[in-house]
Amino acid sequence: MKIVVLPGDGIGPETMAVAVDVLQAVDRRFGLGLQLDHDIAGHDSLKRHGATVTPALLEKVRAADGLMLGPMSTYDFKDEAKGEINPSMYFRKKLDLYANIRPARTYKGVPVRLGEFDLVVVRENTEGFYADRNIESGGSEMLITPDVVVSLRRITRLCCERIARSAFELAMTRKKHVTIVHKANVLKMGDGMFIGECHKVAKEFPEVRVDDVIVDAMMAHVVRAPDRYDVVVTTNMFGDILSDLTAEMSGSLGLGGSLNAGRDHAMGQAAHGSAPDIAGQDIANPASQVLSAAMLLNWYGQRKGKQAFVQAASAIEQALADAVAARECTKDVGGTLGTRETGAAWVKRLG
């Protein structure tokens, strides 16, 4: 399996270094034959190539079996004409990575704030309110007059159908419960279509229980009783916000692993951003990047029918859970170790 590795900005190089060590550890243990191809994106690439991402890099990623993308300082990238392209958007759009899978669960050893839970947010990744990816050329935010901005939200039947299918297929491997999160009381057409497509797909999965919740109420419900949820399917921006909340509820945003998957490609990418407030201090939690690596291995193993990759992914998740329970973790989740020491402890557990 050939994986392109792009460490990213801020805490990215620190957390990605741990993810790479963990990948190499499972490669040795499970004989995966991983080939890691290290390259750059974000600020480093802007300095060296005049753009945060380049067409040559995209071609390299297309030819590989997977991508590990570190967090990017996307807020710094304001002008595409100056090469300041949002790398997350670029790969999600160019590789059609429509399903953003973001699990969140509580861990033994991490103080539980709102009760134990284990859920997955399945977020549509290619349209919605994201002005940088929902039209073919240009952006879908317009300055109508100096004092008026219009931002368009795109919802298509195809994208609703395929994200619903990802959610129901995932639910079949879990507790067979899907919750549709929407704002169809106001966005009657767009979210009406989203709910309609979800219910159409649901008919193919009669064993799966389905309910739906309006997004604002969902914030109260999920905080009140997170254990009521299994798979939560929603549109792009709602999923972005909800999944940061559920990651933090599990103990820390630094526990939020995430996979961006399409039909032919996948990208492991932490749910959080580049965290400039803690960058370079050796305190960032590498769990999200490591869990994203495990999700990428699992995706590849399931697609190719290669059990060793699925086992490697489970071994990473188990080692991380055992380590956290033994307080071999960073301070955001109750440990005392730095990023590097945490990574070394996890690698040791993986043999």
Q: Which residues bind ligand NAD (CB under 6 A)?
A: 11, 15, 71-76, 88, 252-254, 269, 272-278, 284-285, 288, 332
Residue with Cβ nearer ligand NAD (74 or 179): 74
- Nearest distance, CB of residue 334 and ligand NAD, angstroms: 12
Around Cβ 174, how many Cβ atoms within 10 Å?
Answer: 15
- Nearest distance, CB of residue 71 and ligand NAD, angstroms: 4
- Nearest distance, CB of residue 197 and ligand NAD, angstroms: 26
- 102 three-state secondary structure: strand
Distance in angstroms (rounded) separating the CA atoms of residues 106 and 115: 8
Residue with Cβ nearer ligand NAD (134 or 269): 269
Residue among 129, 201, 131, 133 at smallest CA distance from 163: 201
Residue with Cβ nearer ligand NAD (129 or 309): 129
Residue with Cβ nearer ligand NAD (11 or 164): 11
Confirm if 247 and 84 have CB atoms less than 8 A apart: no
Residue with Cβ nearer ligand NAD (18 or 198): 18
What ranges in 142-274 are assigned the alpha helix state H? 157-172, 190-202, 215-224, 236-249
Residue with Cβ nearer ligand NAD (192 or 338): 338
- Nearest distance, CB of residue 276 and ligand NAD, angstroms: 6
What token pair was written down for 154?
Answer: 């795109």
- Nearest distance, CB of residue 306 and ligand NAD, angstroms: 28
- Nearest distance, CB of residue 39 and ligand NAD, angstroms: 16
- 38 three-state secondary structure: strand
Residue among 344, 346, 341 at smallest CA distance from 324: 346
Residue with Cβ nearer ligand NAD (139 or 276): 276
At 232, phi and psi to the nearest 5? -115, 120
Residue nearest to ligand NAD (CB): 273
- Nearest distance, CB of residue 3 and ligand NAD, angstroms: 18
Cα 72–Cα 75–Cα 77 angle in degrees, nearest 5:
80
What is each CA distance from 178 to 58, 140, 206, 249, 330, in whole angstroms? Answer: 34, 31, 12, 20, 33
What token pair was written down for 218?
Answer: 């969902």
- Nearest distance, CB of residue 176 and ligand NAD, angstroms: 30
- Nearest distance, CB of residue 76 and ligand NAD, angstroms: 6
Beta bridge partners of 177: 209
- 96 three-state secondary structure: coil
Confirm if 43 and 308 have CB atoms less than 8 A apart: no
Residue with Cβ nearer ligand NAD (223 or 241): 241
Residue with Cβ nearer ligand NAD (193 or 293): 293
What is each CA distance from 200 to 160, 195, 208, in whole angstroms? Answer: 10, 9, 13
Confirm if 71 and 272 have CB atoms less than 8 A apart: yes
Helix (H) or strand (E) holding 84: none
